[in-house]
Amino acid sequence: MTLGTTIWIVIFAVSALVFFGIAAIISVYGTKDLRNLLRESKKRE
């Protein structure tokens, strides 16, 4: 592989890791929020 190809692969790998890391964090916090909302709506009934 040429140097340019290697650089693009590294940039792509780092970008993918950052994207999926942020997506995982958002999913965890979103799930917590939904559970909180569902608990509060059950308490009101």
pLDDT tens by residue, 1-45:
899 999 999 999 999 999 999 999 999 999 999 999 888 777 766
What sign does the CA torsion over 7, 10, 15, 16 have?
positive
Q: Where are the alpha helices (DSSP H) in the chain?
A: 3-44
Could you give the CA distance from residue 3 to residue 9 in angstroms, rounded to a whole number? 10
Its pTM stands at: 0.71
Could you give the CA distance from residue 16 to residue 6 in angstroms, rounded to a whole number? 15
Up-side HSE of residue 23: CA atoms within 13 Å toward CB? 6
CB atoms within 10 A of CB 34: 10
